[in-house]
Structure 1
């Protein structure tokens, strides 16, 4: 099911945010049930607005992550969108990159067999027959999971 919602509101079911090259829409959002939505803003703009909707700006969210996770590789810090709904989005490369793919970590951290790692790709089963694949190293994936649990235990539980 494809929907165009302007502006898209990040929610718990939001799963993957990726750059989409179209004359009007710049972001394709896939939800956990494999439904697809489009937004005219770039992925980072959608995420920045979601941070503001939940009480602080994106830079403030990154400073919070630096305090919890340490000062290294801040460009790969996840963005805590909502403490109340436990929405944590992980950039799969630098958030400064326009082509950065963002993934809702909760959907793969508690996936019950929905994802697997093979040949430097994380493969994630979506609703229906959908599969999403993103290139990453096993070390990055391990760090993403450990950061997710650290943040969840520190801020969200």
Structure 2
């Protein structure tokens, strides 16, 4: 199977998740509803560019979230609040294993029955993702992100993410 490697990628409402990749030709894997892209930029470069496209730089968005919510770690980012694009990191963004998950694509989360240190995200487009993050941590990230959405927009959030 051949893959297409792109030099850049613009975050849109279709962006579902961004993963860090350890490869010589690309540094990110981007999931959309029905496509997968391999990108020659890091996840953080894509997140920062998305914030700029959304009207502010990453550090400004981060500082604003801290100010409005009091959240201090694994801070969710309103990449483009006008387009209802919000993402949260699975780990500290400084770590290579950090993935960015886009909130509005999540249908539900559940514990991985095979491992207490892993969770499973079910997306609206029927993909599922196993993450090396506990259910409790993932649930907390969803709660932080929903609070961020409430503080940054008047958009009605979905509240049925928890089983």
**TM-score in terms of structure 2 length:** 0.81
Contact 1:19/1:99, CA 8 A, preserved across alignment: yes
1:140 is displaced (CA, Å) by: 1.8
2:135 aligned residue: 138
1:3 is displaced (CA, Å) by: 4.5
2:45 aligned residue: 45
Deviations 1:106-126 (A, max 9, x none): 222xx1xx5422333221345
Aligned pair count? 149
Change (3 A) 1:71 1:134: closer
Instruction: Output aligned runs, 1:36-75, within 5 Å.
Output: 36-70=36-70, 72-73=72-73
2:153 aligned residue: 156
Contact 2:109/2:121, CA 8 A, preserved across alignment: yes
1:15 aligned residue: 16
Change (3 A) 1:16 1:71: closer
1:54 is displaced (CA, Å) by: 1.6
The runs of 5 or more residues in structure 2 that have no matched partner are: 155-163
Instruction: Output aligned runs, 1:20-39, within 5 Å.
Output: 20-33=21-34, 35-39=35-39
Change (3 A) 1:69 1:51: same
Contact 1:8/1:38, CA 8 A, preserved across alignment: no
2:96 aligned residue: 98
CA distance in 1, matches of 2:133, 2:43: 19
Name the Cα RMSD after superposition.
Answer: 2.1
**TM-score in terms of structure 1 length:** 0.83
1:142 is displaced (CA, Å) by: 2.7
